[in-house]
Amino acid sequence: GENVEQHPSTLSVQEGDSAVIKCTYSDSASNYFPWYKQELGKRPQLIIDIRSNVGEKKDQRIAVTLNKTAKHFSLHITETQPEDSAVYFCAASKGAQKLVFGQGTRLTINP
Amino acid sequence: GAGVSQSPSNKVTEKGKDVELRCDPISGHTALYWYRQSLGQGLEFLIYFQGNSAPDKSGLPSDRFSAERTGGSVSTLTIQRTQQEDSAVYLCASSFRDRGEAFFGQGTRLTVV
């Protein structure tokens, strides 16, 4: 079955700098790749997703890139702010099969 | 419309007792997941229901854990003979069949004393 690896497990950046979180997946047939943000004590919430027919998607300060050949995708956050501090999870799935999550990245934005 | 609803929000139980956790998915969502999250940890997959297909139970940690989904809607996760290591937040999520995007409930915080 699908396996998703996420790196790094923790990331600390200065406010205003960029943050990049990377994930690799094992099943080349996977076609849906969401990213979730989980703030302390809250539920995970979808922040951006990408499907396999596109290579990049942006939404204000966040973007996701997908390299199908290498089977990896990345989350990019620019101009980081304190409210970006959270745990971020990537995931992958294909068709109606279950979402498989990465292990999570704890992002800390230092003022 | 309402999101994914879980009940209870918090549950404290004595070791050895059985507990039932409930999840009401978003109306029309055919897929339903249960995850477990220990403090500061990731999302541990437990079970996945998709329409009328046989559920994927590959994540259930022991035979003390079981789940059912009645009428393709509400789901109940049952933990028998609870142990202290079962203490965690149990999260439910639902999605449309082929859409992929999963919406999470607020979770049930289970404490076994």
From chain B, the residues in CB contact with A107 under 8 A are none
Rounded Cα distance between A22 and A11, Å, is 11
Write the DSSP symbol of residue A93: B
Rounded Cα distance between B32 and B76, Å, is 11
Query: Is A103's Cβ below 8 Å from some Cβ in B?
Result: yes
Beta strands of chain B (E only): which ranges?
A: 5-7, 10-13, 19-24, 31-37, 44-50, 65-69, 75-79, 88-95, 103-104, 108-112
More confident residue, B104 or B71: B104
Residues A22-65: tens digit of each pLDDT = 999 999 999 999 999 999 999 999 999 999 888 999 999 999 99
Per the CB < 8 Å rule, is B42 touching A96? no
Give yes or no for residue B18 having a pLDDT over 80: yes
Residue B82's identity, in one-letter code, is: T
Query: Among B43, B47, B99, which would you mutate to test the A interface (most chain A Cβ atoms within 10 Å of its Cβ)?
Result: B43
What the block records as the tokens of B55 is 């559920």
Dihedral-angle region of residue A24 (phi above 0 means left; psi in -120 to 50 means alpha; beta otherwise): beta
Per the CB < 8 Å rule, is A34 touching B42? no
What is the structure's pLDDT at A80? 98
Query: Among A43, A73, A108, which would you mutate to test the B interface (most chain B Cβ atoms within 10 Å of its Cβ)?
Result: A43
Residues B22-32: tens digit of each pLDDT = 999 999 899 99
